[in-house]
Amino acid sequence: MDSLSELRTLASLDRPHRALLRLRPDFCSLAACSAGPDSRFGLVSEDLPACRPYLSSRRIQVVGFHIFSGSQVLDAEGILQQIRGALDQSARAAKVLGFTPEIINLGGGFGIPYGPDDAEMDLVAVAGELRSLVEQAAPSKLMLELGRYLVAQAGWYLTTVIAQQTHQGRPAVVVDVGTHQRGDMCGLGLRRKGFPPVVLSGRSLTTSDTFTLTDVLGCLSLPSDVLAESSLLPPLSPGDVLAFPNAGAYGLTASPTLFHGHPIPAEVAFAGTITELIRDRQSARSLLEGQNPLRKIRTFIVPGL
Ligand SMILES: Cc1ncc(COP(=O)(O)O)c(C=O)c1O
């Protein structure tokens, strides 16, 4: 429950529910996308006394807390700082409310390397301390709800070169899609910091192919629609396919996909060498699906149309 208001709504429903109270972090985070004290999520300490009547009412059983303080933390100490902060805040909230939480959900936030300057997160260091925090928190159970760390690296975003261009004095290619389908690229500045795309070209490279710092431009009419800047790439021609890594989290589903009226792209699942089309490339007409044809208004504007 993110607010008192949500708690009241839950209490008014017919079915009984178990619920966690989401707490707004009162500590800072090292996350690239932080949801700290100035965020809009969760109950603040002043809200807690008013939650007491709902702790074990007929319709709601509050079983613990949830705190999510930020995403894409690569530094193990940064993750532990978030986890310790969340545990400490939960313990203080439990004291105010006078109950022992069954569950403390510490959110997500484990980061992944998006580019050559990022180091892999030290999972062993995190696991070592997590073990002792689990013991310390007992009998409360700790939960993590990881997103990016589990699925980002499982996804690739495939684009096709449609033209050659120049951009800021460098050679560039334009591809058939853009940042409207990879919303995460903008927020994380991936066009400058990301790994270069893998070139899936029909032809093999020869020793005479020289790699050049090349830009990859999306096909929107936005100057900022740039997927890669100064990426070391071989000569590219229309028809070549570029595969951008780390597209499995906050990619398509976190993007303004309908911008410019572009239909949703195809999705293909793969395991090893087995591939399966799980969503057809949508047609342009699909953008109008679900709209009702104009009847009354059309007659009103252009009588007899
Ligand atoms: C409430 C909540 N839990 C979990 C996650 C997953 O976070 P991450 O991908 O950083 O693991 C998010 C992401 O925004 C979130 O808002």
Whole-model pTM: value is 0.89
Closest among 244, 291, 267 to 114, alpha carbons compared: 244
CATH 2.40.37.10 residue ranges for the chain? 155-262
Q: What ranges make up the beta strands (E) of the chain?
A: 17-22, 33-34, 60-66, 70-71, 103-105, 141-143, 157-167, 170-175, 198-200, 212-217, 226-233, 241-244, 267-271, 274-279
Q: Distance (Å, rounded) from C-alpha 193 to C-alpha 170?
A: 17
Average pLDDT over residues 70-75: 94
Residue type at 75 in one-letter notation:
D
Q: Is the pLDDT of residue 225 over 70?
A: yes
Average pLDDT over residues 118-133: 95
110 CA distance to ligand 1 centroid (A)? 9
**Top CATH class, 4-150:** alpha beta
Cis preceding-peptide flag for 16 (omega within 30 of 0): no
From atom 16 of ligand 1, which residue's Cα is the shortest distance away?
A: 68
pLDDT on residue 243: 97
Q: Distance (Å, rounded) from C-alpha 234 to C-alpha 218?
A: 18
pLDDT on residue 29: 78
pLDDT on residue 278: 96
CATH 3.20.20.10 residue ranges for the chain? 4-150
Across the chain, mean pLDDT equals 92
- Residues 155-262: name the CATH superfamily: Lyase, Ornithine Decarboxylase; Chain A, domain 1 (2.40.37.10)
The dihedral over CA atoms of 89, 93, 1, 149, expressed in degrees to the nearest 10, equals 20
Q: Is the pLDDT of residue 305 over 60?
A: no
Q: Distance (Å, rounded) from C-alpha 165 to C-alpha 284?
A: 26
Residue of 71, 103, 126 to mutate, ligand 1, most atoms within 8 A of C-beta: 71
224 CA distance to ligand 1 centroid (A)? 26
Average pLDDT over residues 247-256: 93
